[in-house]
């Protein structure tokens, strides 16, 4: 069975976390989705590229989540979420996923 790339897991965590928080009106539930995807992606990053790269990508994941908030004031909520999710996915592919294949 094919494994879902960490880039897709991380991007889905950011988009899915926001969607859950927005549509359920429960920010904590969105945080659970965000954290679960982050842990899953982190395990894949560590396996594919080692602990150092996993730490860098984990930091990027958290920074993307935090950075989406001020970015939303300029772009709007959904465009900001998609922008940071795409950035994390690109970094994940470049640093980990392309080496895992």
Query: Any idea what the Cα angle at residue 96 is, between residues 90 and 100, rounded to 5°?
Result: 125
Determine the pLDDT at residue 92: 97
Determine the pLDDT at residue 99: 78
Q: Is residue 16 a contact partner of residue 8, using CB atoms and an 8 Å limit?
A: no
Query: Measured between alpha carbons, how far is 48 from 38 in angstroms, rounded to an integer?
Result: 15
Q: Is residue 83 a contact partner of residue 75, using CB atoms and an 8 Å limit?
A: yes
Q: Per residue in 9-18, pLDDT tens?
A: 999 999 999 9
Q: Per residue in 35-90, pLDDT tens?
A: 999 999 999 999 999 999 999 999 999 999 999 999 999 999 999 999 999 999 99
């Amino acid at each position: 069975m094919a494994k879902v790339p960490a880039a897709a897991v991380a991007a889905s965590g950011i988009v899915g976390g926001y969607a859950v928080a927005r549509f359920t009106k429960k920010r904590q539930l969105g945080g659970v989705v965000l954290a679960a995807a982050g842990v899953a992606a982190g395990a894949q990053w560590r396996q594919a590229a080692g602990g150092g790269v996993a730490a860098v990508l984990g930091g990027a994941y958290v920074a993307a989540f935090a950075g989406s908030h001020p970015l939303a004031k300029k772009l709007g909520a959904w465009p900001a979420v998609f922008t940071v999710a795409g950035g994390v996915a690109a970094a994940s592919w470049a640093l980990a996923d392309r080496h895992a294949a």
